[in-house]
Structure 1
Amino acid sequence: MRFRPCIDLHDGKVKQIVGSTLRDEPGALRANFSSSLPASHYASLYRRDQLPGGHVVMLGPGNEAAAAEALAAWPGGLQVGGGVTADNAERWLARGASHVIVTSWIFREGQVDMQRLAHLAGLVGKAHLVLDLSCRFRENAYYVVSEHWQRFTSLRLDGATLSALAAYCDEFLVHAVDVEGTCTGLDAGLLALLAEAAPIPTTYAGGISSMADLELVERVGRGRIDATVGSALDIFGGQGIKYSDILARFAPAGREMAGGGGHREGSL
């Protein structure tokens, strides 16, 4: 199991958002945290502490400059997603992303467009593509949601789906949208499904509130499922998990005590 750091961007700022509130209605959005520090600060932090494979996610328009700054701070160390299409994917790789993350663009009218997916995989290469299969629970199953997690697709997340899509990408990123940003505990059912069925590297996100939750990811995920933490982490204003504890558990040998304490906002 690896820890995958994150940089979530909204209106050009690093934020932590309750996933279910990411809607178009005025006043619907609820943010747990908004940083006064640039995205490049967090990218430099992860680079120094040798935590590769994190993701920069652009939540809506107005985030391209901040995402580019983060990638420039650690070329090859971060993935980027949010509004990725065949028209801009190569440009994001040229800017320093190790992978592009895509969801909505491969769906049309709620269904996977396999021609689009194959075209994108051929364009950037399977080794540089991550599919975001973030999902919500409905009718006794998990279904992928698109368009800023507002629209249910017809794609049911199960072993057959994961096996079929794995042929086109290097990794999966899966947010448990119903608990994303809530710090109320992870979705154990979704985690167990991923541990059983995911045939390629997969990162789970959503609801993680403590180091005990991360240990649960490792145990239930059988060491096969990676994890990312947002709102619970002290560098994002959270109280459940210290960044220094993440380093002690997940950083390479010799980096556990980098910088001393919890790396709260303003320290680097």
Structure 2
Amino acid sequence: MVFEDNKMEIMPAVDIKNGKCVQLVQGKPGSEQVIIDNPEEVALKWENEGAEVVHVIDLDGTIDGKSNVKLIEKIIDTVNVPVQIGGGIRSVEYAGQLLDLGVERVIIGTMGIIHPETIRELSSEYGPEHIMISLDSKDSKVVIKGWQEKIDKSPVELSEEFADNGAGSILYTNVDVEGLLNGLNTEPIIGLVKSSPIPVVYSGGVSSEDDLKTLQKTGVKGVVIGSALYKNKLNLKDALKYQDIN
């Protein structure tokens, strides 16, 4: 699956924790505001409403390193659209296992930033279109290890490096606004899109159709929407109107 010209893919999020679909505030354990059984059915609901890709984050993997691979497999088997997965991917072997299960795109954060050779290895074996590097930003610096540790580099500084290492795309999350439903700050998004030689997908704080109109002008190739959908601030069918950019 490649990113298309003149399209901003709308990607509903299915965050999984303890076997359920949840929404956390700024990724903090214990801040669950949404808890739904059977994440695979949630993913199917988004597909039935028109989503062309589902964005799954394994929060158990991110927070404590426990893999939800059986649940991930169930989601893949339930839906017919591509699934991209991140969270707790801490080895080349596990990333390969997910891709072999049928995951369309693995989203790699901490491992890739600390060990960029892992991105090269996976890209060489599976193709760059299946490898997405996650650049999560807080106070304009990249954060790793579940947003707990800040490194002294910005997303812009890292974007070219990872394109050279074989990543096919970037997931950029602005932690400062993620989960708060207070809108977004476009300046760092535009800066990253302009500097990055590979497609950028944005995540964090999307809460309205106005946000989607704004993001259309930034050049991002995809937008992940989570809390706004689950709290009925946004309707997926309405959001999908902003996929095609004229």
Same fold (TM over 0.5): yes
Partner deviation per Cα, 1:41-75 (whole Å, 9 max, x = no partner) = 13223333442333211012253322221111235
- In the alignment of these two chains, the number of paired residues is 230
* Residues 147/58 of structure 1: CA separation in 2 closer, same or farther (3 Å cut): same
1:130 positional shift: 0.7
- Equivalent residue number for residue 146 of structure 1: 144
From 246, 256, 261, the counterpart of 2:239: 246
1:164 positional shift: 2.1
- Equivalent residue number for residue 31 of structure 1: 32
Point out 4+ residue stretches in structure 1 off by more than 3 angstroms: 46-50, 247-251
* Residues 17/53 of structure 1: CA separation in 2 closer, same or farther (3 Å cut): same
- Equivalent residue number for residue 166 of structure 1: 163
1:249 positional shift: 4.2
1:205 positional shift: 0.7
1:83 positional shift: 1.6
RMSD of the TM alignment (CA)? Answer: 2.1
Partner deviation per Cα, 1:185-209 (whole Å, 9 max, x = no partner) = 1122222222322222211111111
Gaps of 5+ in 2: 1-7, 61-65
Identity %: 24
Higher RCO (C-alpha 8 Å, min separation 6): 2
1:76 positional shift: 6.0
Alpha-carbon contact 1:93-1:100 (below 8 Å) kept:
yes
- Equivalent residue number for residue 95 of structure 2: 89
1:30 is matched by which residue type in structure 2?
S
Alpha-carbon contact 2:199-2:221 (below 8 Å) kept:
yes
Q: What is the TM-score with the length of structure 2 in the denominator?
A: 0.84
Alpha-carbon contact 1:75-1:96 (below 8 Å) kept:
no
- Equivalent residue number for residue 80 of structure 1: 85
Q: What is the TM-score with the length of structure 1 in the denominator?
A: 0.78
Report the 3-state secondary structure (helix = DSSP H, G, I; strand = E; otherwise coil) of the residue aligned with 1:232: helix
1:14 and 1:211 mapped to 2: Cα distance?
24
Structure with greater Cα Rg: 1
2:191 and 2:32 mapped to 1: Cα distance?
29
2:120 and 2:198 mapped to 1: Cα distance?
18
1:244 and 1:52 mapped to 2: Cα distance?
12
Gaps of 5+ in 1: 23-28, 252-268
